[in-house]
Structures are given as C-alpha cells and as structure tokens.
Amino acid sequence: MTSRERLLCALHGEIPDRVPVSCYELVGYDTQNFCNIEPSYHDLMEYIREKTDCMAMWNPSSTEKYAHSAYDPHAEYVRTETEDGHTVKTTLKAGGHVLTSVDRYIDGIYTTWHTEPLCKDSDDIEALMSLPFVPASYDDSDAPRILGELGDHGILMPSLSDPAYSVMNLMEFGEGMVYVMTEEDHFAEMTKEMHRRIMINLKTMLETTSGDMYRICGPEYMCPPYLKPQFFEKYMLPYLTDMVQLIHSYGRLVRIHCHGRIGQVIDMIVETGCDGTDPCEETPDGDTTLEELKARVGNKICLFGSMQLKLLEGGSREDVIRETKRMMLAGKPGGRFVIMPTAAPINVPLKKHTEENYRAYIDTALELAAY
C-alpha cells in the first residue's frame, strides 16, 4: 500500500497492510514547513520521509481578519526588536473600544507567544463581534505545489477552529475560563454567532479548496481539567456535529483535535460523527490509557496517538522503545489506529537526543506494524 492508501484505509475502518506511522507536525512532504528548511532537522526529516506516513498540515490562504470575518478594521501594527527576538503590537478600533494585543516571537523557537490578548473582557468581545461580518474567501493556488510534493506519500489536512474556542481564544486563557462560567448567557450568544460565521466560511472553503481530512482544533478548551463535561456537551457537541456533517457532505474526512482528559468526553466526540480524534493523551496528562480508549470506542473512530512529545524530547531510548511497543499492542487490534506523537519539537537547533528518540520510535513502530 502507499501511505495515502494506508491512512485512508485506517480512517475508513478497514485493515491496512500495517499500522500507519506518523510524526504529526514534522511534515515530511512540504518544502515550506520550517522543519524542512531548518538545517538541524535535515537528517531526521530525511528519515521521516523515507519511513513514515505523512498527514501534510496545510491551509489555503484566507481573507479572514478577526473573529472569522474578512472585514478590515485597518489595524495598526508596531514591531519592536528585543534581545531575543521581537514583539508585534496590534491596535484596532471596534464598537467604541480601542483593542490592543501583543505577540512575542523568540529567535530559534517556532511558535508565537500571545502576551497580551486582544480582548480583556466580555465587553471587548462584544465590541469586536460588532464589526461587520464579511464572509471569507480562500486562495487554493498553492494546492498544486503541496499536492505535487505529497503525491501518494500521505493525505492533505487543513485545520480550522470550533466556535467556542474561537470566542474564548480572544481572551487570556484563565480569564476566558472565568468568562464562560460567570457570563454564560453572553458566551452562548457570542458562540452562536461565531458558529454561524464558521459554517458560512467552511462551506466556501470546502467548495473552493483541497483537503482530504479536516482537523478541528479547540475542543480541549471545553474538556476537563478546565471545564466540566456538561460544558463540552452544550458548547461542543452540537456545533462540532454541524461541522462534521457539513464536511462529510463534501466527501471529506474529519479529525477532532482535543488534548486533555478526554476519557470524560470521548463518548461525545464519537457522537459528533467524526472519523478520528487526536492526540489521545494518556495519564498523567490525560485521564485514560490507549488500552481503555480502544476498549471504549472499538472500531467507531480512528485513534491518533499517543506518544508524548516530552518523552521523545527528554526520555531515554529504552523508555521510548518500551512505550512504542505498548502503544502498538494496545492500538493495533481491529484497525483504526495511527501511532503518532502528541506534538512536535519547536526548538532550534534540534537536539541530537530528540532525533535519536524519534528514530527509535519510528523503527520500533515499524517492527510491530504489520497486521
């Protein structure tokens, strides 16, 4: 089987020739992905391309600006250099409010630190949402490049966010949690409007862009230990179900991305009708084990996981081999399993110890992968 055939087979509930082995965000077949540009990742990426099955994380360019609207509020951006990188301060006016945010970028770390959120309270959120909603458009012109590079080595996976996360993420994380619990009527109203916008944009995205499997990010915000399962039931289950049904109506697959203690919400994740979930974090980071998840979901959805990145970065080679063997034995029966790390390194240069552990993970998984 090709990697593409293998992944699609696992997602559809059939038994492939072997368990798909993924390195998740270390995307082998995308020349624009940072890990394929950064020299210290070169040797590992060559190994990943040779040995594993790729889910290329790629999104078309979009006209979205703020709150899933393409309306341009003509924000001002000020860049300030720092000793270890730079910051960008954003200022915009909305509903009589002046909203500001600050993002920090550190040299040698491929992520963004949101040190000041755009919205400080529910009034700021309402002001931002009062800006006109202009549906987004999407530019698929980069698709031939990524599809040509990917070929049969895997599948293409765009990502999008759910409405509850889209509202909460406008605020600082802790303040967002307090907002949900203390101003639930307001949060419900904002989430309902955000869902309306997302569904309009998602329909356009599906009609105009490429993608085999769409990854929905953000459900972990409504997952223990942060919020009780009833919040997931109220603000995730109905909206995720709508999104899954729309994506399925265009013949695409859906994977729900949810960190945290999913043991308390896994039945609702299955109920959405999705095709798979990731990254299936185990205890102590989660509240369950791969063995338990497999016993509960059976062949209903595909499980993607659950090798912890912190083990790959800081554990011994022996620990990585032992855990990989256990996960393969737990996830393999009945199919619908893709072994995969929970995240990927973002530091530069890549540590040699991390690279060696990734190779041990890949080699061990492949040794036990055949059905």
* Region 305-316 average pLDDT: 96
- Cα 188 to chain centroid distance, Å, stands at 23
Query: For the segment 118-136, what is each residue's pLDDT rounded down to a tens digit?
Result: 999 999 999 999 999 999 9
Task: Identify the pLDDT of residue 370.
Answer: 97
Specify whether 100 is located in the same domain as 142: no
Query: For the segment 229-249, what is each residue's pLDDT rounded down to a tens digit?
Result: 999 999 999 999 999 999 999
Say how many domains are in the chain: 2
CATH of the domain at 203: 3.20.20.210
Query: For the segment 341-366, what is each residue's pLDDT rounded down to a tens digit?
Result: 999 999 999 999 999 999 999 999 99
Specify whether 197 is located in the same domain as 99: no
* Region 318-343 average pLDDT: 97
Q: State yes or no: pLDDT of 266 exceeds 90.
A: yes
Specify whether 301 is located in the same domain as 212: yes
- Kindly list the distances between the CA atom of residue 181 and the CA atoms of 98, 194, 211, in Å, as whole numbers in the listed order: 25, 18, 36
Who contacts 318 (Cβ-Cβ below 8 Å, separation ≥6)? Answer: none
Q: Is the pTM of this model over 0.85?
A: yes
Specify whether 315 is located in the same domain as 360: yes
Q: State yes or no: pLDDT of 108 exceeds 90.
A: no
Specify whether 227 is located in the same domain as 99: no
Who contacts 326 (Cβ-Cβ below 8 Å, separation ≥6)? Answer: 290
Specify whether 30 is located in the same domain as 76: no
User: pLDDT confidence of 110, banded at 50, 70, 90?
Assistant: confident
Q: What range does the domain containing 154 cover?
A: 3-71+132-367
Task: Identify the pLDDT of residue 109.
Answer: 84
Task: Identify the pLDDT of residue 17.
Answer: 97
Q: Please check whether residue 366 is in contact with residue 53, taking contact to mean a CB–CB distance below 8 angstroms.
A: no
Specify whether 144 is located in the same domain as 107: no
Specify whether 270 is located in the same domain as 198: yes
Q: Give the DSSP letter string of 69-119.
A: B------EEEEEEETTEEEEEEEEEETTEEEEEEEEEETTB-S-EEEE-S-
User: Both tokens of residue 185?
Assistant: 């009527």
Any idea which residue has 């949900």 for tokens? 180
Closest CA to 290 of 274, 307, 273: 307
Q: Percent of the chain at pLDDT above 70?
A: 100
Task: Identify the pLDDT of residue 216.
Answer: 98
